[in-house]
């Protein structure tokens, strides 16, 4: 198992998009804090609110980089022309949920609707399979149907919609779809 983590820490995926844009996906690394901070600085307040945690400031981002533990949270960054433009994280469960992971995506608005989000989802699935997860879960607000559809197109099933699961700063509540990809088939087992 230790060797697998070493291999994942060196993971790299290069993809050339149809318009010629070169996209590199790789694990978060030392020296990424400033570029990750720049990505979040370009985000709109609405995007940051949907990030599911406090808007990351420089101190929080430096902690993410310096205190990485890939066996708890596996962060993958997306680079285009030496800029970080996206981040996908897999948060691994513990104890009785050790077979489950939760995936979160954040992609710079400038790079949306170009297939990069799909590439991020596929990368998360590949990592989940390599570490032996049985389920990968994404929580997506239902007012983002294109994101829900992107996960469904990769095999995730919309298992449940949590009513009023998220609340925005203005008091609006959002329904959130719980999308699950079953990586291990238990059908027919008794």
Q: Two tokens at 137?
A: 């879960």
pLDDT of residue 65: 84
| Stated length of the chain | 190
pLDDT of residue 188: 64
CATH of the domain at 68: 3.40.630.30
pLDDT of residue 190: 60
Q: Are the beta carbons of 100 and 135 closer than 8 angstroms?
A: yes
Segment 83-98 shows an average pLDDT of 89
Q: Would residue 187 count as lying in a domain? A: no
| Structural domain containing residue 30 | 2-182
Question: What is the count of structural domains for the chain?
Answer: 1
Q: Would residue 78 count as lying in a domain? A: yes
Q: Would residue 190 count as lying in a domain? A: no
Q: Which residue has better confidence, 17 or 2?
A: 17
**For a pLDDT cut of 90, what percent of the chain falls above it?**
47
pLDDT at residue 52 is higher than 70: no
pLDDT-based confidence at residue 40 (cuts at 50, 70, 90)? confident
Q: Would residue 188 count as lying in a domain? A: no
Q: Would residue 47 count as lying in a domain? A: yes
CA distance 72 to 21: 32
Segment 40-46 shows an average pLDDT of 83
pLDDT of residue 158: 96
pLDDT of residue 3: 78
Q: Two tokens at 112?
A: 């949306």
Q: Would residue 68 count as lying in a domain? A: yes
Report in angstroms the alpha-carbon separations of 125 from 36, 89, 136, 149: 22, 11, 7, 16
Torsion of CA 155, 110, 142, 146, to 10 degrees: -50
């Amino acid at each position: 198992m230790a060797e697998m983590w070493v291999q994942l820490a060196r993971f790299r995926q290069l993809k050339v998009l149809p318009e010629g844009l070169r996209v590199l996906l790789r694990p978060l690394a030392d020296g990424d804090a400033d570029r990750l901070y720049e990505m979040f600085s370009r985000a709109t307040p609405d995007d940051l609110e949907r990030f599911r945690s406090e808007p990351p400031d420089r101190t929080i981002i430096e902690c993410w980089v310096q205190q990485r533990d890939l066996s708890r949270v596996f962060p993958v960054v997306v680079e285009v022309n030496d800029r970080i433009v996206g981040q996908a994280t897999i948060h691994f469960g513990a104890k009785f949920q050790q077979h489950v992971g939760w995936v979160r995506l954040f992609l710079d608005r400038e790079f949306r609707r170009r297939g990069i989000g799909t590439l991020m989802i596929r990368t998360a699935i590949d990592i989940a399979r390599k570490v032996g997860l049985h389920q990968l879960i994404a929580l997506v607000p239902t007012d983002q149907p294109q994101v829900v559809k992107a996960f469904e197109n990769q095999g995730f099933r919309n298992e449940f919609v949590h009513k009023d699961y998220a609340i925005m700063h203005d008091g609006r509540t959002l329904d959130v779809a719980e999308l699950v990809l079953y990586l291990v088939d238990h059908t027919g087992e008794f």
